[in-house]
Amino acid sequence: MLSRVADSIYWMNRYIERAENVARFIDANFHMILDLPVGAAEQWLPLVNTTGDHELFDELYGKASRDNVIQFLTFDRNNPNSILSCLRSARENARSVREYISSEMWQQVNTFYLTVNEAAQQGLGMDLPHQFFVDIMTASHLFVGVTESTMSHGEGWHFGRLGRMLERADKTSRILDVKYFVLLPSVDYVGSPFDNILWAALLRSASAFEMYRKRHGRIDPEKIVDFLVLDQKFPRAIHSCLIAAEISMRNITGTPRGSFSNRADQALGKLLADMDYITIEEILSQGLHEYLDATQTRINNVGNAIFETFFALRPVGEPVRTKEAE
Amino acid sequence: MKFDGYQTENFFDEMFDDKGRPRPGADLVVERINSLPAEELMRRQRAAERALLHLGITFSVYGDESGTERIFPFDIIPRIVQGDEWTIMEQGLKQRVHALNLFINDVYNEQKIIKDNVVPADLVFSAAGYRKPCIGLKPPRGIWCHITGTDLVRGSDGHYYVLEDNLRCPSGVSYVLENRLVMKRTFPMVFEACSVQPVTDYPSRLLDMLQGLAPRNVRDPVVAVWTPGIYNSAYFEHSFLAQQMGVQLVEGRDLVVNRGEVMLRTTKGLERVDVIYRRIDDDFIDPKVFRPDSMLGVPGLMEAYQKGRVALANAPGTGVADDKAIYAYVPEIIKYYLGEEAIIRNVPTYGCWREEELKYVLENLDKLVVKAVNESGGYGMLVGPHASAAEREEFARRLKANPRNYIAQPTLSLSRVPVLVDDHFEGRHVDLRPYILYGEDTYVLPGGLTRVALKKGSLVVNSSQGGGSKDTWVINSSCPLQP
């Protein structure tokens, strides 16, 4: 398929996944705050940290208040990672590959964008924020479902899933990183009911609460980290995302497991192999933050390698570099 | 909602005759609409517009930074074309396209028509669409213009006239197909009862025609639609046609010439392409041959084309016959190559490069429409009767300075159709753009795009000037009334 088309499908999926994640962690934060004791400081800035856009936020808003943060993350066109901006980018990408994707997919992206854009223009959504954010998550799920059942599961579909899985792995790692960092210092809460509330909120930020309960039962920080990083069956766990990403990558390149034929294959294969064999104890002993930070960097590197290998429009004659050291 | 109060106001109306009776073929539609509750029609109109927006059937507005897209305004009352009339029109269009292709081929090769003094040489060589690099080109079967959209209007005398030929990248066929889709949802019952000639197989016909141009003998030639990109006003159409044909939609950056072949840049390396339906102007296709500053083009493409390694539809250089000065000669062109009278007439046209005609035009500016020969989309025009004295003076100056650049035509009283305005019907002027595919055989899409001037009294139907569209139904006159 055309490199440009593969690129657009990959990014269309990343952007929709990103919008969904932003909606989810704003919503989870709303819920958490309602359960906190009156007077406990509202934690809004960590949301901005999760998306990695705190510098832009400082510049545009300065002080973090609930309204500021929500506006910035949801509707602000100056923030390239706001829900609205993500959907606009997703739609632009969809528009540029409209002939390639199914018309059902295009319509879902188009309607999704139009709905949020209308809410932005009319100042809607914030009177019943929960419903608004749930609708966004549902629209994203609908997009994934429509894609599953209307698009041939060929190369384009695999590029889409690759994008979605890398984005999701990245966001789960960021949510965990920021929340864990926020939660750790609040030793006052340890063992208190609030401790459970905060950890449960973390799980909800990744839509993981119920599945975690089924897997591990009791709220236990170490097991939560284990679940969100290393679980192989929970679809938002980093490990599980990377497994799916790797399957798609191998479908695209045709390279068998255990070998590689380009830098993208290699970077993702290595990352996944490390995750296959690491234990939660090893992760915590090297420091969770350090581990997550390194993982995010490696996920970024996979993204760059994908760009280099499949999307970059090189002058003719220049070979694709392989076996390049990371 | 009823047509009871509708007035044709002495215009030729496509739906009703001068006694207010529905024309043959239109009676069933009129009856159906009359039988709908008042609110219902407006509800269906709104539903149709909403469907177009959500389907993303839009065009981009130039110069708007936020990339605003609008739906092409759509009126749900169909325009009816009688089957018998259509048959004649179809023949006329085939005749015209055939002759124009012979003309283009001649102009770039033997130039017989020029040597025989039928069309003046200087008019041909000074046409904005004339391309020197095309001299000596011999496209397969001598076909240059594979896809044509010819604009027709109907005058107060009830005759159809050709207003202009669009031989480069005629737009709008996607609206014909999408409008039809929306209409089938809006008026399923009327559709069932009337036998409306189908338009849905246009993309298959287009694909067959394009594949038939493939330079190498392979089972499945690779076809691509070439678009300037998502910011082009006709991007929706490019993408729609590619999707409906199941072929790739490409931009210049997706294409590269490698060892004389035109290749697509894919995730698995370079892949050859056989046929390109280009929706990008001549000037931009190859910076080595045409505009060197083209960022959209592909260096080396023309050479590959000239060597027959890739096919282009339409061929570069077809614009020479798209010129309004050449248009004035089309009846002679038809007679010269085919020995026939033109079946569809031209609008009487004065060529300002002819001294006595320039004189007449200057004396009658208040009665004429003056058009710059190289402009389209309603730009560069003077509508004499509606213009101020100052505007007419300004045009007189331009005519004298550059007579080659202008034609003039009498102001036609364009036919009208009823459109839904708030809660009643009003007459609005229309034109009609049928689409013609010319390959192994010639196919004329039944009906075509009806464009409506939505502003009251306006004669300008272009989308860029606030025009809208309607579905066009070619109906056999014998269409039975329901019992």
Sort B464 into a burial class: Cβ within 10 Å, 0-12 / 13-18 / 19+.
Answer: middle
Pairing of strands B160-166, B368-372: unpaired
pLDDT of residue B187: 83
Instruction: Give the angle subtended at the CA of A75 by the CAs of A72 and A76, to the nearest 5°.
Output: 50
- DSSP annotation of A311 reads I
Q: Mean pLDDT over residues B98-111, rounded?
A: 97
Banded model confidence at residue B478, pLDDT cuts 50, 70, 90: low
Compute the nearest-CA separation of B239 from chain A (Å): 5
pLDDT of residue A319: 46
For residue A138, is pLDDT > 70? yes
**Do residues B234 and B294 lie in contact, with contact meaning Cβ atoms separated by under 8 Å?**
no
Task: State mean pLDDT over A194-205.
Answer: 80
Express each pLDDT in B331-347 by its tens digit. Answer: 999 999 999 999 999 99
Looking at residue B482, its pLDDT comes to 44
Option in B54, B243, B263 nearest A98 (CB): B243
- Tokens standing for residue B243: 């999707």
For residue A109, the model assigns a pLDDT of 96
The answer to whether A5 touches A156, Cβ cutoff 8 Å, is: yes
Task: Tell me how far apart the alpha carbons of residues A175 and A49 are, in angstroms, rounded to a whole number.
Answer: 9
pLDDT of residue A325: 34
Give the SS3 label for residue A184: coil
Residue B65's pLDDT band, with cuts at 50, 70 and 90, is very low
| Nearest Cβ partner for A2 among B55, B56, B264 | B264
| CA separation for the pair B250, B234 (Å, rounded) | 14
- Can you give the pLDDT at residue A320? 45
Q: What is the pLDDT of residue A199?
A: 82
- The b/e string for A218-240 (b: 16+ C-beta within 10 A; e otherwise) is ebebebbbbbbbbbeebebbbbb
Q: Find the CB nearest B55 among A95, A107, A155.
A: A107
For the cut 70, the answer to whether the pLDDT of residue B106 exceeds it is: yes
Given this model, what pLDDT does residue A49 score?
83
- Give burial (CB, 10 Å; 0-12/13-18/19+) of A78: exposed
Complete edge-to-edge strand list for the sheet that includes strand B255-258: B255-258, B261-266, B269-272
What is the Cα–Cα distance from B337 to B341, expressed in whole angstroms?
11
Question: Tokens 């975690």 — which residue?
Answer: A212
Inter-chain touch A252–B266, beta carbons under 8 Å: no
User: Closest chain B residue to A109 measured between Cα atoms?
Assistant: B54
Q: State the average pLDDT over residues B364-384.
A: 82
Higher per-residue confidence, B260 vs B466: B260
Cβ–Cβ contact A188 with B under 8 A:
no
Token duo for residue B481 = 């009334």
What span, in angstroms and rounded, lies between the C-alpha atoms of B13 and B418? 8
Instruction: Flag if A2 and B254 touch (Cβ within 8 Å).
Output: yes
With cut-offs at 50, 70 and 90, classify the pLDDT of residue A200: confident
Predicted local confidence at residue A181, as pLDDT: 67
Selected residues 247-286 of chain A with any CB under 8 Å from a CB in chain B: 252
What is the DSSP annotation of B96-131? Answer: HHHHHHHHHHHHHTT-HHHHTTSS-HHHHHT-TT--
Residues of A in contact with B266 (CB under 8 A): 1-3
Q: How confident is the model at residue A52 (pLDDT cuts 50, 70, 90)?
A: confident
Q: Which residues of B touch A103 (CB under 8 A)?
A: 55, 243
Which phi and psi angles does B432 have, rounded to 5°?
A: -145, 130
Query: Mean of the pLDDT values across residues A180-204?
Result: 68
CA-angle at B281, arms to B280 and B282, nearest 5°: 125
Amino acid letter, residue B64: D
Chain B residues bordering chain A (beta-carbon distance below 8 Å): 53-56, 67, 225, 229-230, 235, 239-240, 242-243, 247-251, 253-254, 256, 258, 263-267, 270
Instruction: Determine the pLDDT at residue B268.
Output: 87
Residue in the block written with tokens 């035009």: B361
CB atoms within 10 A of CB B481: 8
pLDDT of A323 strictly over 50: no
Mean pLDDT, chain A, whole residue set: 88
Which residues of B fall within a CB distance of 8 Å from A159? 267
Contact A98 B56 (CB under 8 A): yes
Predicted local distance difference test score (pLDDT) of residue B427: 94
Report CB contact under 8 Å: B243, A4.
no
- CA B86/CA B65 separation, integer angstroms: 43
Please tell me the distance from the alpha carbon of residue B454 to that of residue B426, in angstroms, as a whole number. Answer: 10
CA nearest B79: which of B224, B176, B174, B170? B176
- The answer to whether the Cβ–Cβ distance between B249 and A99 falls below 8 Å is yes
CA B11 to centroid of chain Cα atoms: 24
Burial B337-373, CB ≥16 within 10 A → b, else e: beeeebbbebbebbbbbeeebbeebbeebeebbbbbb
Rounded-to-integer distance, Cα B130 and Cα B125, Å: 6
Residue B357 has pLDDT above 80, yes or no: yes
Of A2, A106, A311, the CB nearest to B56: A106
CA distance A311 to chain B (A): 7
Token output for A182: 């926020």
User: Tokens standing for B381?
Assistant: 């025009």
- End-to-end Cα, chain A, rounded Å: 27
State the helix-helix crossing angle for B202-211 and B235-245, rounded to 10 degrees.
80
Q: How much is the pLDDT for B64?
A: 46
Cα-Cα end-to-end distance for chain B: 22
Note the pLDDT of residue B69.
Answer: 66
- What is the C-alpha to C-alpha distance for residues B112 and B274, in angstroms, rounded to an integer? 32
Region B37-57 average pLDDT: 84
Can you tell me which residue has the tokens 């609205």?
A84
| In the predicted structure, residue B67 carries a pLDDT above the cut 70 | no
Of B67, B248, B258, the CB nearest to A2: B248
Mean pLDDT computed over B23-46: 87
Tell whether A110 lies on the interface with B, counting CB pairs under 8 A.
yes
- Please spell the DSSP secondary structure of B389-440, one letter per residue: HHHHHHHHHHHHH-GGGEEEEEPP---EEEEEETTEEEEEEEEEE-EEEESS
Alpha carbon distances (Å) from A2 to A28, A259, A310, B250: 39, 25, 9, 8
Q: Does A40 touch chain B (CB under 8 A)?
A: no
Cβ of residue A318 closer than 8 Å to a chain B Cβ: no
Task: For residues B451 and B467, give the distance between their C-alpha atoms in angstroms, rounded to a whole number.
Answer: 7
> Between A206 and A184, where is the model more confident?
A206
Q: What is the ipTM score, two decimals?
A: 0.80
Q: Which chain A residues touch B56 with a CB distance below 8 Å?
A: 95, 98, 106-107, 110
Q: Count CB neighbours of A45 within 10 A.
A: 18
More confident: B24 or A323? B24
Residue A321 confidence (pLDDT): 44
> Helix (H, G, I), strand (E, B), or coil: what is residue B164?
strand
B54/A114 touch (CB, cutoff 8 Å), yes or no: yes
Query: For the segment A249-307, what is each residue's pLDDT rounded down to a tens digit?
Result: 999 999 998 899 999 999 999 999 999 999 999 999 998 989 999 999 999 999 999 99
The position carrying tokens 């939505």 is: B454
Does the pLDDT at position A26 exceed 80? yes
**Which of A88, A95, A109 best probes binding to B when mutated, by most B CB atoms within 10 angstroms?**
A95
Contacts of B55 in chain A (CB under 8 A): 103, 107, 110
pLDDT for residue B276: 98
- Chain A: closest CA distance from residue B240 (Å): 6
Question: Comparing A208 with A159, which gets the higher pLDDT?
Answer: A159
Q: Which residues contact B44 (CB under 8 A, 6 or more apart)?
A: B76, B186, B187
Question: Which residues lie below 8 Å from residue B53, measured CB to CB, with a gap of 6+?
Answer: A114, B71
Which residues does chain A have within 8 Å of residue B249's beta carbon, measured at their own beta carbons? 97, 99-100
Percent of chain A at pLDDT exceeding 70: 89
Token pair belonging to A226:
């284990």
Angle at A234 between CA A232 and CA A236, to 5 degrees: 110
Of B53, B249, B265, the CB nearest to A3: B265
The beta-carbon neighbor of B56 closest among A2, A99, A110 is A110
Mean pLDDT in chain B?
Answer: 90
CB pairs under 8 A between A and B: 67
pLDDT on residue A326: 33
Average pLDDT of the residues in A159-163: 97
Q: Place A20 in a pLDDT band, splitting at 50, 70 and 90.
A: very high
CA–CA separation, B102 vs B96, rounded Å? 10
DSSP state at residue B216: S
Pairing of strands B350-351, B467-475: unpaired
pLDDT at A314: 66
* Nearest by CB: A155 against B56, B251, B267: B267
pLDDT (tens digit, 9 = 90+) per residue, A69-87?
Answer: 999 999 999 999 999 999 9
Q: Which tens digit of pLDDT belongs to each residue from B112-157?
A: 999 999 999 999 998 989 999 999 999 988 999 999 999 999 999 9
